[in-house]
Structure 1
Amino acid sequence: MSPFRKFLIHAVITLVILGGLGIVGAAIVVVTGVYNVAAIYQHTRPVYEILDFALDRSVSARLDGIAAPPRDDPLLAERGFRIYRDKCVQCHGAPGVPPDDAGKGMLPLPNNLAQTAREKSAEYIYWVVANGIRMTGMPAWQFRLDEGDLWAVVAFVERLPAFSPREYEEWERKADGP
């Protein structure tokens, strides 16, 4: 038997053993209830890192075919503001507006969408708004909002990094009418 073939056999055996030990270890954690799932305790840092990585990779892998329409129309952002105020601010908050108690009690905590708008593309934000995220409390809005409304929310979220609390309050007054 060639040295390479021998090495390959040993490598496969080692990987199978390590994989089996990993599965046994995970099963022990699950069966014994070692990991506390209570909503009053934060996830550990490694768990957050794994969840964030998995979320980012999952969403990024599904962005093909999404083409953002123009979102520079102020009326589109105003429409998005009204939807955001009605459906999003309770959990995510807004400039000068903290999340409601339900949003504050969620784990993982809902993202700061001003930060999300700085870091993620319009297509990424659209995908999350449309499809939601399992086990986070983020609902899928694609069956409750039409395509135009989904992009209106994206147009508003993209403006959040530039909003001050005073500007948000002005948009509130404007949306409420005279």
Structure 2
Amino acid sequence: MLIRWRHLLAALVALPVLGLMVAWLGLIPVGASGGHWAATDWFLHWVMRNSVRTAALDTKTPPLNNAAMLPLAAGHFETGCALCHGSPVQKRSAAALAMLPPPPDLAEVVPTWTDAQLFEIVQHGVRFTGMPYWPTRDREDEVWAMVAFLRQLPDMDGPTYLRLSGLATPIQDGTLRPPALACDSCHAETRLDGNGLIPGLAGQSEAYLLESLRAYADGTRPSGVMQAAISGLEPDSFHDLARFYAGQARQSLPPAQSEPALLDHGRRLAEAGDAGRRIPACLTCHDRADGNPAFPVLSGQSAPYLESQLRLFAAKTRGGGAYADLMIPAAENLEERDIEALAAYFSSR
């Protein structure tokens, strides 16, 4: 039988119409209980791996050997990831294993990805699975912290995970106990050691803490970690949390060891600024007894945390309360040594 062009044209028109008809009639099963055909499962994973590999080609990996990254990521992992992927202290739930595809055991799959590829997965998520993207695009530092944590996860034991995630906090006799507040999982004074990326909240003003919570909630202060942490809170509870931490006493933490020249450079910038480079004096606004209560107290915060915040302001991605915009021009002319010096000086006060 001779196949003519008009036959091919008719087939090309009929096939999409037939496909739409099958879809409209509901004949294509979408139930997860049926699973995928083996060929479909292989194809989807093949496409995903190729996509991630290509997307990661121009991703530059920063150093990931900073231990301060781990507690920041571990707390988020416990609240946002462990339910599906399991953790060193709990297996994947039956509900997670019933997903299609089921979330993988990270101890098995993390070693098969590079750091850059893990960053792409955590930052952007994976379509057609339950893997979400990071809640904000402006906090690559948080995503890299998660990558550093994931790299350690396959060999992590239960006590280490409990300590890092804040599910339990050390008490005087060395044993562990659950934190009194969910926020204390990360921010309890006993969790702070002067070298972390998590800020101390105790002793900050109620006004500053309240503004910060509201900024996290409405997205004007981007943070995937904090947006997930407060997502289940009612806005009415922000006042109580702010009041609670404002009333807590600050713990005296040993500052990181810094060169005297670096500390002196930070002190001069804090006290007098640098008019030639349009850098204002930090102490004009911060840490003043008669200052605006909406400005945070910087003294005694860890140097790594202060460095991270200054870098975010310099990159114009920090955000915050009503006065956050004042910090962008204040930080935009800071060089890396200025940032390190200011962080070292305020952490030592």
Task: State the alpha-carbon separation in 1 of the partners of residues 60 and 87 from structure 2.
Answer: 27
Task: State the alpha-carbon separation in 2 of the partners of residues 32 and 47 from structure 1.
Answer: 22
Offset of 1:101 from its aligned partner?
5.2
SS in 2 for 1:61: helix
SS in 1 for 2:107: helix
Calculate the TM-score normalised by the size of structure 2.
0.40
Contact 2:123–2:137 (Cα < 8 Å) also in 1: no
Q: Name whichever structure is richer in helix by fraction.
A: 1
Bigger radius of gyration among the two? 2
Task: State the alpha-carbon separation in 1 of the partners of residues 53 and 25 from structure 2.
Answer: 35
Task: State the alpha-carbon separation in 2 of the partners of residues 71 and 134 from structure 1.
Answer: 27
2:143 is aligned with 1:153: no
2:90 is aligned with 1:97: yes
Residue 168 of structure 2 aligns with which residue? 173
The CA deviation string for residues 16-38 of structure 1, in whole angstroms up to 9 with x for no partner, is 9xxx7xx78x9498677665321
Structure 1 unaligned runs (5+)?
1-15
Residue 60 of structure 2 aligns with which residue? 67
For the structure 1 residues 89 and 59, does the alpha-carbon distance in structure 2 shift closer, same or farther, using more than 3 Å as the test? same
The CA deviation string for residues 55-112 of structure 1, in whole angstroms up to 9 with x for no partner, is 0011111113211111111110121111111211111111231234542332111122
The CA deviation string for residues 105-134 of structure 1, in whole angstroms up to 9 with x for no partner, is 321111222222211001111101111111
SS in 1 for 2:117: helix
For the structure 1 residues 153 and 47, does the alpha-carbon distance in structure 2 shift closer, same or farther, using more than 3 Å as the test? same
User: What does residue range 104-119 of structure 1 map to in structure 2 within 5 Å?
Assistant: 104-119=97-112
Task: Select the structure with the greater relative contact order (CA < 8 A; seq sep ≥ 6).
Answer: 1
Task: State the alpha-carbon separation in 2 of the partners of residues 29 and 58 from structure 1.
Answer: 30
Specify the code of the residue in structure 1 equivalent to 2:168. Answer: R
When structure 1 is superposed on structure 2, of 80-89 and 31-40 the one drifting more is: 31-40
Contact 1:92–1:110 (Cα < 8 Å) also in 2: yes
Structure 2 unaligned runs (5+)?
1-7, 171-184, 191-349
For the structure 1 residues 49 and 33, does the alpha-carbon distance in structure 2 shift closer, same or farther, using more than 3 Å as the test? farther
For these two proteins, the number of residue pairs brought into alignment is: 159
Task: State the alpha-carbon separation in 2 of the partners of residues 144 and 91 from structure 1.
Answer: 22
User: What does residue range 47-62 of structure 1 map to in structure 2 within 5 Å?
Assistant: 47-62=40-55
Calculate the TM-score normalised by the size of structure 1.
0.74
SS in 1 for 2:76: helix
Task: State the alpha-carbon separation in 2 of the partners of residues 58 and 76 from structure 1.
Answer: 27
For the structure 1 residues 29 and 121, does the alpha-carbon distance in structure 2 shift closer, same or farther, using more than 3 Å as the test? farther
Specify the code of the residue in structure 1 equivalent to 2:121. Answer: V
RMSD of the TM alignment (CA)?
3.0
Specify the code of the residue in structure 2 equivalent to 1:165. Answer: G
Task: State the alpha-carbon separation in 2 of the partners of residues 141 and 31 from structure 1.
Answer: 34
SS in 2 for 1:60: helix
Specify the code of the residue in structure 2 equivalent to 1:173. Answer: A
For the structure 1 residues 174 and 125, does the alpha-carbon distance in structure 2 shift closer, same or farther, using more than 3 Å as the test? farther
